[in-house]
């Protein structure tokens, strides 16, 4: 029987690979890549693309400046070059030019040599990204490297690579997201296939956007697109990477990977370049496309007509999807991000246990469930999860029961450490007169934190933080108490989303475990409270929302302020429309003033936040998303709100 050779028909077998990365250990990374390449060679793969900076680790940060890392990356590259029997591969490497500039490069290796390097053109420097701290843009770079160990090769953006008659172009991560991306220019120059070495972190719904970006880029450029992103073994200090891999062809996503694996993984497919060449010749828009010249600016109307109403709607809970199916998908993804980050953190700390303060409230319950998932991900038994409840003067029977039952149903180790005597002794040492004031409340919070950290030391564990994004925005946490942890899994999850996540878990993950579902439903029915003031008739007497305001309002304010940079008047007007019939103008303006007053004044707590995974587009990490001086004044925002309230009074 005749055996066809599909390569003669223009089929090119390609692979997107995510190896297990060892941060700042290039030789180990090269060995891992070699193992992957050897396996891919056996599967007749012609081209393999690996993630951005995979030889060093994308998250190496200031280690990129060190001689050790740069030198070891060069040695690792030399190790890969020695093998001429493997597929052409693109690997990510930091490369320093003779004049001292540092580039983020893709090194193309084939036939036992470095064929060339393509530098990253667009260096993101917003939100969680600050690539410009280390790297310069590859735009305009045109260098020839002549080396004894790696031979001679070009470093430039405008170069293609011939693989058996197929032309291949390269771009790196953010290059794809740019308005004019290098991959499109490479396609116009003749590349039928674009390789993207990426390090794209996981956020709520970002994977869907990423898929559409890859799919539509392959569509408009009539090309094959091979995308490989950094995996979960990168640092999870503030971000979680999922190892997303995709292969697209002319607008169709022909292969898409699972994410969040802690093991090496590859994605393989064939791209039909003959079909692509046919469509390029037939499509006159592509065939006749030219690089645009300078645009002329035309003046329009100087003013706009009044717009008293908006047609579009702004949801009351912008962090929570209105569609039930989308909510289910988002809940699963959030918990995957949280659990993957915590699992990686436990590995990095070389710890054996997770220690969590379990109060029986919403936040600690979600963190507890995330800890359970993290241990499952690492195939560790639930005895590694130590839940400590620390009843004090403000603890009610209901929350104590919630904590006990939650730990029991999950099979976690449970420890009850009452703090009454310790707090009483501490307040006596301070000559405290017994008032239920801030000293009384904070003494309890700090005593609990001391117990958690010291217990974690005793058990070789790490303390899992429980505080949420909304509390961090308002500063509703005790400095150097519940404000602290080794890793805070809830750091970028807002309060309005916490309840939905716990409810989703009860309905979908605990549906076959009725006892766990019952406990979670009791937690959902428990009022939100720090429980730092003694209960009355065993009922919670300190209700958070009566003190700081409704969380649904504060999350609305937070979203529009951080996500859009909106000023108070705009936020107020939007809130009026969204919450019509729920809160009146006076209530909205009152709590809006509270929000800005607290948000600006409480930055000192956020400046010293512990690490935790970013799960959405709004985050308050001082290392990436939100940086402001602790001494900033809220005067401008409060003056504007005062004007709003003044107008209300005069109506």
pLDDT value, residue 294: 41
Helix (H, G, I), strand (E, B) or coil at 276: helix
> Which residues lie closer than 8 Å to 168 by C-beta, 6 or more apart?
47, 88, 108, 160, 161, 162, 191, 192, 193, 194, 195
3-state SS, 543-582, equals: CHHHHHCCHHHHHHHHHHHHHHCCCHHHHHHHHHHHCCCC
pLDDT value, residue 238: 92
pLDDT value, residue 648: 75
Q: At what angle do helices 568-578 and 585-601 cross, to 10 degrees?
A: 140
How distant is the alpha carbon of residue 568 from its chain centre? 28
What is the domain partition of the chain in residue ranges?
6-283, 324-646
Element (H, E) at 225: strand 224-229
The partner residues of 509 in beta bridges, in order of sequence, read none
Average pLDDT, the chain: 89
Which CATH number is 6-283's, of 3.60.110.10, 3.30.2350.10, 3.40.50.300, 3.30.70.270? 3.60.110.10
pLDDT value, residue 546: 66
> Which residues lie closer than 8 Å to 417 by C-beta, 6 or more apart?
388, 389, 390, 451
Mode of pairing for the β-strands spanning 151-156 and 193-198: unpaired
Closest CA to 333 of 613, 618, 51: 613
Q: Which two tokens stand for residue 570?
A: 């705009």
pLDDT value, residue 395: 67
Domains 6-283 and 324-646 share a fold: no
Cα distances (Å, whole numbers) of residue 292 to 110, 122, 283, 286: 34, 19, 19, 13
Work out the number of other CB atoms within 10 angstroms of the CB of residue 246: 26
- On whether the CB atoms of residues 170 and 197 are closer than 8 A, the answer is yes
- On whether the CB atoms of residues 586 and 648 are closer than 8 A, the answer is yes
pLDDT value, residue 183: 92
- Tokens 């430039």 sit on residue: 156
- Tokens 């197929």 sit on residue: 166
DSSP 610: P
Length of the chain: 651
What's the rounded Cα separation, in Å, for the pair 420 and 534?
Answer: 11
What predicted TM-score, i.e. pTM, was given to this entire model? Answer: 0.81
Cα dihedral 297, 298, 303, 306, rounded to 10, equals -100
Q: In 54-192, which ranges are continuous DSSP H helix? A: 67-81, 174-177, 182-188
* pLDDT tens digit sequence for 607-650: 999 999 999 988 999 998 899 999 999 999 999 999 998 887 77
Q: Which two tokens stand for residue 254?
A: 């022909």
Which CATH number is 324-646's, of 3.40.50.620, 3.40.50.720, 2.60.260.20, 3.30.9.30? 3.40.50.620
What's the rounded Cα separation, in Å, for the pair 145 and 455?
Answer: 55
In which order are the strands placed within the sheet that holds 461-465?
Answer: 413-416, 385-389, 353-357, 461-465, 487-488
* pLDDT tens digit sequence for 205-231: 999 999 999 999 999 999 999 999 999
Residues of the chain with pLDDT under 70: 1-3, 291-308, 310, 312, 394-398, 527-544, 546, 651
What's the rounded Cα separation, in Å, for the pair 224 and 194?
Answer: 6
How distant is the alpha carbon of residue 373 from its chain centre? 18
pLDDT value, residue 291: 46
Element (H, E) at 452: helix 438-458
pLDDT value, residue 542: 47
Report the catalytic residues: 52, 120, 173
pLDDT value, residue 292: 35
Q: Which two tokens stand for residue 621?
A: 């990490």
Q: Which two tokens stand for residue 177?
A: 């997201």
């Amino acid at each position: 029987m005749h055996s066809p050779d599909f390569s003669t028909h223009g089929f090119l077998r390609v692979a997107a690979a995510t190896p297990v990365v060892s941060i700042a250990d290039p030789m180990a990374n090269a060995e891992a890549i070699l193992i992957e390449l050897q396996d891919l060679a056996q599967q007749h793969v012609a081209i393999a693309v690996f993630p951005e900076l995979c030889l060093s680790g994308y998250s190496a940060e200031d280690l990129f400046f060190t001689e050790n890392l740069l030198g070891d990356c060069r040695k690792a590259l030399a190790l890969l070059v020695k093998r001429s029997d493997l597929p052409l591969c693109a690997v990510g490497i930091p490369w320093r030019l003779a004049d001292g500039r540092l580039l983020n490069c893709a090194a193309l290796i084939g036939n036992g040599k470095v064929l060339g390097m393509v530098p990253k053109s667009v260096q993101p420097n917003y939100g969680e990204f600050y690539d410009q701290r280390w790297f310069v843009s590859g735009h305009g770079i045109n260098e020839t490297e002549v080396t004894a160990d790696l031979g001679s090769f070009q470093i430039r953006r405008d170069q293609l690579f011939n693989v058996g008659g197929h032309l291949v172009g390269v771009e790196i991560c953010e290059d794809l997201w740019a308005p004019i991306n290098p991959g499109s220019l490479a396609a116009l120059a003749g590349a039928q296939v674009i390789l993207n070495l990426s390090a794209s972190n996981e956020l709520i719904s970002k994977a869907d956007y990423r898929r559409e970006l890859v799919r539509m880029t392959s569509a408009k450029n009539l090309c094959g697109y091979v995308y490989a992103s950094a995996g979960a073994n990168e640092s999870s200090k503030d971000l979680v990477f999922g190892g997303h891999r995709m292969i697209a062809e002319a607008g169709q996503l022909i292969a898409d990977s699972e994410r969040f694996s802690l093991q090496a993984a590859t994605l393989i497919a064939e791209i039909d370049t003959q079909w692509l060449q046919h469509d390029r010749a037939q499509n006159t828009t592509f065939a006749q496309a030219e690089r645009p010249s300078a645009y002329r600016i035309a003046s329009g109307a100087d003013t706009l007509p009044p717009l008293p109403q908006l047609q579009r709607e702004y949801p009351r809970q912008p962090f929570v999807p209105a569609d039930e199916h989308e909510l289910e998908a988002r809940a699963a993804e959030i918990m995957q991000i949280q659990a993957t980050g915590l699992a990686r953190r436990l590995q990095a700390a070389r710890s054996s246990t997770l220690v969590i303060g379990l109060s029986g409230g919403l936040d600690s319950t979600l963190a507890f469930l995330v800890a359970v998932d993290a241990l499952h991900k690492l195939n560790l038994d639930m005895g590694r999860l130590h839940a400590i409840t620390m009843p004090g003067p403000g603890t009610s029977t209901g929350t104590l029961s919630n904590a006990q039952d939650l730990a029991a149903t999950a099979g976690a180790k449970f420890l009850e450490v009452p703090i009454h005597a310790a707090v009483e002794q501490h307040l006596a040492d301070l000559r405290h007169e017994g008032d239920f004031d801030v000293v009384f409340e904070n003494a309890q919070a700090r005593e609990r934190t001391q117990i958690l950290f010291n217990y974690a030391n005793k058990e070789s564990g790490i303390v899992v933080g429980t505080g949420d994004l909304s509390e961090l925005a308002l500063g509703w946490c005790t400095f150097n108490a519940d404000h602290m942890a080794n890793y805070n899994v809830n750091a970028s999850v807002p309060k309005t989303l916490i309840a939905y996540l716990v409810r989703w878990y009860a309905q979908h993950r605990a549906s076959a475990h009725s006892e766990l579902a019952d406990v979670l439903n009791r937690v959902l029915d428990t009022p939100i409270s720090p429980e730092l003031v003694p209960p009355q008739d065993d009922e919670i007497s300190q209700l958070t929302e009566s003190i700081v305001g409704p969380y649904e309002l504060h999350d609305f304010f937070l979203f529009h302020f951080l996500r859009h940079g909106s000023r108070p008047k705009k936020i107020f007007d939007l809130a009026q429309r969204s919450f019509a019939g729920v809160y009146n103008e006076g209530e909205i303006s009152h709590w809006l003033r509270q929000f800005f007053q607290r948000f600006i004044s409480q930055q000192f707590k956020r400046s010293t936040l512990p690490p935790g995974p970013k799960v959405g587009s709004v985050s308050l990490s001082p290392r990436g998303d939100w940086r402001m001086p602790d001494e900033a004044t809220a005067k401008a925002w409060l003056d504007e709100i005062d004007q709003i309230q003044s107008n209300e009074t005069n109506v």
